[in-house]
């Protein structure tokens, strides 16, 4: 008998090594999605066995199966509604009693269970001996011991899955004895089976489980009953009555009684199947924590870890991009080579588009080394067990601002000082169990100082705060945190006020040594997710922005003007070379090939470092065109020198014309018009339309702001003036106060496309994604207007306004720390 | 006496819980129910949250949450 497809659910408590088991079973065939309607991640994978396909769904790690958290709800719903053939219950063998608490609940749900005792090696090292036969007998399930990290037991587990999938439910299963509640449970169960004989819901929902859940007061299950049975009110009323009755008679809340009996049963079963070592000392992890969570050493170690994380990924990762960038540059060079070559003043649209596209993608691909290191380091933090310690140490601080201890890592990644990235920052928010804090963290991460905001800061500071560079850099690096914390508080007090919170209660798992395979696997998997999900969308947006910047383009009568200018430049060239032998040999058609030849020659010469190399370049170019080479490399020849000067003059006119056209094109473009249309509003913040265009184009990627400013202020004839100089000359009305307002707006700038997509994935809704784009814009504009208009009205200099704003932000942060969030538990 | 008032190093027995629903159920699931033994291991560097142990199981919780756990020494 061969089944076409076997569905296996992987269930277990957090920290039981479930993901290791999942990876061992499914290998590389993994797929990540979200459960519908919630942000809980759904990992699926598969393997083949005996010609059939076994699909494995990794349920979220939970301690229990109530309806109080989304993780527990999706696990429970999956087991109830998807009818898996087998539920593999992964449990930590070294902590059996705790993990059996979940096993017993799985058995109550009447799914065929295989109990996978994982981490047997750890248990053995601690001197714990488990009689798996005895345990299996007591529970009525197959028990498979494994040490998946060391690679032991995979085949045995697969065999057991196949056996149990074929055999179905064992009869009868072990069940918890709820003692004084048993009669009540039977009554409710009977009422249901009498009233609803033959109704379909009976087949999928086990009635004993239903009765237990109703006694626990599980509101979701009531809903389930209403949906699954017709006219169940009588039975529900009975359950309610029994519940109140039980509480009154026994003097204990039913759910407390249930949990107590379950823990007791788990204890009894584990005791009779375990031979523990006598007189357990202090666990090693606790000894480590005496140092790691120490009042003084703890924070010092935390700062060290954060510094290391930053140093290895951002600094060293950035160094690594020096080696990977040439690869990307090659892609660009290749694109240049295969697209139509540029004309004298016109760049073919297809070429312009292809280069823009490649540049946009390259800008993101360039981050891959950084991300790879970063994701690897995060995996180490996760696997080692240090993450909960981080949360433990900083929870009090973040909790004051409506955030969570587990907001620490996302904020570090987002750039708590300067130089992070919002994409991994938002990505790592998924572990925060409290929805209100999680959304708040997701929404504020993009306002931290990511790497891409830095070029604009540096540009502004170099021009307008040159005398106080250090001070200004410190200001901009720390001001983001002082704006983010009050903003988080504001969000949790307003739009997020009604969002559900969760208890902080968090296991402090024993430390584990991460494995190289586990860490690398996770790093690769997350980089791949980044490439797949982000790059595709960035590519699409790059196309849109290109269109907005390129069209409607230069009008035809202006083109006539530019063509006339081109004619003038060419005839000037011929006038200059008149009288030299070149005048007769060159035709007008030769101009374009000559210009391209000259460019190639210059490029070739730059990369030729030795004399022999130069000679080789000369020989090569001699072969292609001796006449052009004579002009390009005049040597001592007088006529050739004259022609070379004329050529350089021509190149200069051409560059000037192209720049002018580029400026005019942006000027007339849709984006340019938008920039101008926004000027009446933004001038209160001190932004003129040019700045607006730069800011608009920064939406695709923030680095673009400086590049666009570069194009807009591009007016020098020689082209070797730095952007700092050009901007300072081009914007004489621009003051340090303008620059300050612009920098502060950049701090609060909406997330880039890549981060926006991440917000969508992690918040699970387009609504929050749109909100994450709009509110920073409003906030940023408000801050910029306050600084610029307020500063102007008070006659403050840029530096004075900087100090004033810093004081204001600091005061807001301190004040926000004292406001209380809505009480959740009372 | 409630759990949040205990100093690190103290051991106690849980008498009752004065909270139900989300927080109450979570405490129960983690093994905090009347009768179980508990030890306060340490406070975080900023005083809150606190870490407690139940046998060989360690967990942390905020003082705000611990005040719903009535204990006796």
Peptide bond just before A172 cis, omega within 30 deg: yes
Give the per-residue pLDDT at A648.
85
Residue positions counted in chain B: 73
Task: Return d(Cα A704, Cα A349) in angstroms, integer.
Answer: 20
Task: Return d(Cα A399, Cα A821) in angstroms, integer.
Answer: 9
Task: Return d(Cα A799, Cα A73) in angstroms, integer.
Answer: 54
Give the per-residue pLDDT at A717.
37
Task: Return d(Cα A23, Cα A383) in angstroms, integer.
Answer: 14
Other residues' Cβ atoms within 10 Å of the Cβ of residue A110: 17
Here the ipTM equals 0.96
Task: Output phi, psi for A11, to 5 deg.
Answer: -120, 155
The beta-carbon neighbor of A504 closest among B33, B34, B61 is B61
- What pTM did the predictor assign? 0.84
Identify all chain B residues contacting A405, using CB atoms and an 8 Å cutoff. Answer: 49
Separation in Å, CA A490 to CA A41, A444, A494, A741, A769 = 28, 11, 6, 22, 18
Separation in Å, CA A633 to CA A402, A604, B66 = 69, 13, 83
Chain B touched by A820 (CB under 8 Å): no
Identify all chain B residues contacting A255, using CB atoms and an 8 Å cutoff. Answer: 20, 24-25, 28
Structure-token pair, residue B63: 């003082």
Domain ranges of chain B: 3-72
CB contact under 8 A, B26 and A253: no
Task: Return d(Cα A546, Cα A553) in angstroms, integer.
Answer: 12
Mark out chain B residues that contact chain A at CB-CB < 8 A.
Answer: 17, 19-31, 33-36, 41-42, 44-49, 51, 53, 55-62, 64-65, 68
Instruction: Please spell the DSSP secondary structure of A424-478, one letter per residue.
Output: HHHHGGGG---HHHHHHHHHHGGGS-BGGGHHHHHHHHHHHSGGGHHHHHHHHHH
The beta-carbon neighbor of B59 closest among A294, A405, A508 is A508
The beta-carbon neighbor of B28 closest among A95, A256, A824 is A256
Other residues' Cβ atoms within 10 Å of the Cβ of residue A109: 18
Task: Return d(Cα A259, Cα A27) in angstroms, integer.
Answer: 37
Structure-token pair, residue A65: 């199966």
Tell me yes or no: is domain B3-72 CATH 1.10.274.10.
no
Identify all chain B residues contacting A253, using CB atoms and an 8 Å cutoff. Answer: 20, 24
Give the per-residue pLDDT at A711.
61
pLDDT digits (tens, 9 = 90+) for B59-71: 999 999 999 999 9
Structure-token pair, residue A641: 């020198």
CB contact under 8 A, B33 and A256: yes
Identify all chain A residues contacting B19, using CB atoms and an 8 Å cutoff. Answer: 825
Which of these, A4, A3, A160, lies nearest to A88 by C-alpha position?
Answer: A160
Task: Return d(Cα A263, Cα A110) in angstroms, integer.
Answer: 19
Give the per-residue pLDDT at A719.
44
What residues contact residue B56 under an 8 Å CB cut-off, 6+ apart?
A95, A280, A283
Task: Return d(Cα A445, Cα A442) in angstroms, integer.
Answer: 6
Judge residue A56's burial from the number of C-beta atoms within 10 Å of its C-beta, 0-12 exposed, 13-18 middle, 19 or more buried.
buried
Structure-token pair, residue A176: 């918890």
Peptide bond just before A72 cis, omega within 30 deg: no
Element (H, E) at A114: strand A113-118
Task: Return d(Cα A712, Cα A738) in angstroms, integer.
Answer: 17
Task: Return d(Cα A633, Cα A604) in angstroms, integer.
Answer: 13
Give the per-residue pLDDT at A718.
41
**Average pLDDT per block of 10 residues along chain A, 826 residues long:** 77 89 82 74 88 92 91 92 93 91 94 93 86 91 91 93 88 83 92 76 76 92 84 87 93 92 92 70 83 92 89 82 87 87 81 84 81 88 90 94 92 81 89 92 93 83 87 90 94 92 91 86 82 75 83 84 86 81 78 84 81 84 81 80 83 83 84 90 89 82 70 49 66 83 92 88 91 94 95 92 95 92 65
Torsion, Cα A49 A54 A57 A61, to 10 degrees, reads -40
């Amino acid at each position: 008998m061969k089944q076409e497809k076997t569905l296996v659910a992987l269930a277990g408590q957090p920290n039981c090594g479930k993901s290791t088991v999942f990876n061992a079973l499914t290998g590389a065939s993994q797929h990540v999605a979200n459960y519908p309607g919630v942000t809980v991640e759904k990992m699926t994978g598969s393997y083949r066995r005996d010609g059939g396909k076994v699909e494995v769904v990794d349920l979220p790690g939970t301690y229990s199966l109530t309806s109080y958290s989304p993780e527990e709800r999706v696990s429970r719903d999956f087991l109830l509604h998807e009818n898996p053939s087998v539920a593999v219950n992964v449990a930590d063998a070294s902590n059996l009693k705790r993990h059996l608490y979940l096993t017993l609940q799985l058995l109550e749900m009447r799914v065929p269970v295989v109990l996978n005792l994982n981490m047997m090696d750890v248990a053995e090292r601690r001197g714990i001996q488990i009689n798996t036969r005895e345990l299996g007998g007591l529970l009525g399930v197959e028990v498979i011991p494994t040490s998946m990290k060391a690679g032991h037991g995979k085949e045995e587990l697969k065999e057991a899955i196949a056996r149990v999938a074929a055999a179905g439910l064992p009869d009868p299963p072990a069940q918890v004895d709820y003692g004084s509640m048993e009669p009540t449970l039977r009554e409710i169960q009977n009422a249901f089976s009498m009233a609803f004989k033959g109704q379909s819901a009976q087949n999928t929902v086990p009635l004993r489980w239903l009765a237990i859940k109703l006694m626990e007061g599980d509101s979701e299950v009531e809903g389930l009953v209403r949906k699954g049975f017709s006219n169940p009110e009588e039975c529900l009323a009975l359950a309610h009555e029994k519940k109140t009755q039980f509480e009154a008679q026994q003097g204990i809340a039913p759910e407390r009684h249930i949990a107590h009996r379950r823990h007791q049963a788990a204890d009894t079963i584990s005791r009779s199947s375990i031979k523990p070592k006598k007189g357990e000392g202090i666990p090693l992890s606790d000894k480590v924590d005496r140092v790691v969570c120490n009042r003084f050493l703890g924070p010092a170690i935390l700062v060290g870890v954060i510094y290391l994380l930053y140093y290895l990924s951002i600094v060293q990762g950035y160094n690594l991009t020096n080696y990977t960038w040439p690869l990307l540059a090659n892609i660009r060079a290749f694109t240049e080579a295969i697209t139509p070559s540029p004309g004298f003043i016109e760049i073919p649209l297809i070429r312009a588009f292809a280069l823009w596209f490649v540049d946009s993608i390259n800008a993101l691909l360039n981050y891959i080394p950084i991300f790879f290191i970063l994701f690897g380091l995060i995996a180490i933090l996760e696997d080692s067990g240090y993450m909960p310690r981080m949360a433990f140490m900083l929870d009090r601080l973040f909790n004051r601002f409506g955030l969570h201890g587990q907001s620490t890592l996302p904020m570090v990644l987002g750039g708590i000082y300067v130089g992070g990235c919002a994409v991994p920052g938002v990505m790592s928010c998924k572990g925060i169990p409290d929805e209100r804090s999680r959304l708040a963290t997701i929404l504020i991460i993009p306002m931290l100082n990511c790497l891409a905001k830095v070029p604009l800061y540096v540009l502004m500071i170099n021009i307008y705060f040159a005398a106080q560079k250090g001070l200004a850099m410190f200001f901009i690096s720390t001001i983001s945190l002082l704006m983010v914390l009050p903003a988080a508080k504001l969000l949790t007090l307003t739009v997020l006020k009604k969002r559900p919170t969760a208890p902080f209660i968090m296991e402090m798992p024993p430390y584990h040594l991460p494995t190289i395979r586990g860490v690398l696997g996770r790093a690769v998997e997350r980089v791949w997710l980044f490439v797949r999900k982000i790059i595709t969308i960035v590519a699409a947006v790059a196309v849109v922005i290109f269109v907005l910047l390129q069209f409607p383009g230069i009008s035809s009568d202006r083109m006539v003007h530019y063509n006339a200018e081109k004619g003038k430049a060419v005839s000037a060239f011929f006038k200059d070379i008149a009288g030299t032998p070149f005048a007769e040999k060159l035709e007008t058609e030769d101009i374009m090939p000559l210009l391209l030849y000259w460019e190639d020659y210059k490029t070739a010469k730059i990369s030729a470092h030795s004399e022999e190399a130069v000679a080789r370049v000369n020989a090569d170019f001699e072969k292609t065109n001796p006449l052009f080479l004579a002009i390009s490399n005049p040597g001592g020849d007088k006529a050739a020198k004259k022609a070379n000067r004329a050529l350089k003059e021509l190149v200069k006119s051409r560059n000037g014309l192209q720049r002018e056209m580029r400026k005019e094109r942006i000027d007339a473009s849709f984006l340019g018009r938008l920039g101008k249309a926004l000027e009446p509003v933004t001038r209160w913040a001190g932004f003129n339309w040019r700045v607006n265009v730069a800011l608009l184009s920064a939406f695709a990627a923030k680095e673009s702001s400086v590049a666009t400013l570069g194009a807009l202020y591009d007016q020098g004839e020689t082209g070797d003036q730095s952007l700092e100089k050009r901007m300072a000359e081009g914007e004489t009305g621009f003051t340090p106060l303008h620059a300050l307002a612009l920098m502060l707006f950049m701090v609060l700038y909406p997330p880039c496309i890549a981060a926006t997509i991440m917000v969508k994935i992690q918040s699970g809704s387009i609504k929050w994604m749109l909100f994450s784009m709009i509110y920073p814009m409003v906030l940023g504009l408000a801050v910029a207007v306050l600084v610029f208009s307020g500063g102007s009205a008070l006659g403050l200099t840029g530096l004075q306004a900087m100090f004033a704003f810093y004081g204001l932000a600091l005061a807001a942060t301190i004040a926000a720390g004292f406001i209380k969030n809505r009480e959740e538990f009372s | 006496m409630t759990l949040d008032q205990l100093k690190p190093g103290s051991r106690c027995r849980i008498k009752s819980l004065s909270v139900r629903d989300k927080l109450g159920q979570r405490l129960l699931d983690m093994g905090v129910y009347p009768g179980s033994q508990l030890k306060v291991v340490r406070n975080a560097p900023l005083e809150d949250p606190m870490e407690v142990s139940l046998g060989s199981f360690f967990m942390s919780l905020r003082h705000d949450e611990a005040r719903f756990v009535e204990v006796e020494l």
